[in-house]
Amino acid sequence: MSPISETGNNVTESDNKDTTAGDVPAEEKNAEEEKKENGECKVDLVEKASPPAAAEVEFVHPEGGWGWVVMLASMWCNGSVFGIQNSFGILYVSLLKEFSSKDGVDMTFVGSLSMGMIFFCSPIVSIFTDIFGCRITAVGGAAVGLVGLLASSFVKSLDVMYFTYGIVFACGCSFAYQPSLVILGHYFKKRLGLVNGIVTAGSGVFTVTLPFILSKLLDEVGLQNTLRVLCILMFVLILAGFTYKPLLPPKPAMTQTGFRLSRLFNMNIWKSVGYRIWAFGIPAALYGYYVPYVHLMKHVQERFGPNVNKEILLLCIGITSCLGRFIFGSVADFVKGSNKVFLQVLSFFVIGVMSMMIPLCNIFGGLIAVCLLMGLFDGCFICIMAPIAFELVGAKDVSQAIGFLLGLMSIPMVAGPPIAGFLRDKLGSYDMAFYLAGIPPIIGGIVLCLIPWVEARNRRKQKKEGLSKEQDVSQKMIELEKAQEDAKNKRGDSKSEV
Tens-digit pLDDT profile for residues 307-366: 777 778 878 888 888 888 888 888 888 877 778 889 999 999 999 999 999 999 888 888
Average pLDDT over residues 136-160: 91
Which residue, 332, 324, 376, is CA-closest to 354? 376
* Structural domains for the chain: 61-248 (1.20.1250.20), 267-485 (1.20.1250.20)
Q: What's the pTM value of the predicted model, to 2 decimals? A: 0.67
Which residue, 287, 258, 311, 259, is CA-closest to 410? 287
Higher pLDDT, 59 or 154: 154
Report the b/e string of 468-491 with b at 16+ CB within 10 A. Answer: eeeeeeeeeeeebeebbeebeeee
Tens-digit pLDDT profile for residues 213-247: 888 888 888 888 999 999 999 999 999 999 998 88
**In this predicted structure, what is the pLDDT of residue 17?**
40
Using CA atoms, how far residue 354 sits from 368, 382, 402, 421, in Å, is 11, 17, 27, 19
Could you tell me if 99 and 224 are in contact, meaning their C-beta atoms sit under 8 angstroms apart? no
- Please report the DSSP string for 188-255 in residue order: -STTHHHHHHHHHHHHHHHHHHHHHHHHHHHHHHHHHHHHHHHHHHHHHHHHHHTT----SPPPP-SS
185: pLDDT confidence band, cut at 50, 70 and 90? confident
pLDDT at residue 33 above 60?
A: no
Tens-digit pLDDT profile for residues 329-338: 888 888 777 7
| Spatial separation of the C-alpha atoms in residues 282 and 497, rounded to whole Å | 79
Could you tell me if 401 and 276 are in contact, meaning their C-beta atoms sit under 8 angstroms apart? no
**In this predicted structure, what is the pLDDT of residue 53?**
41
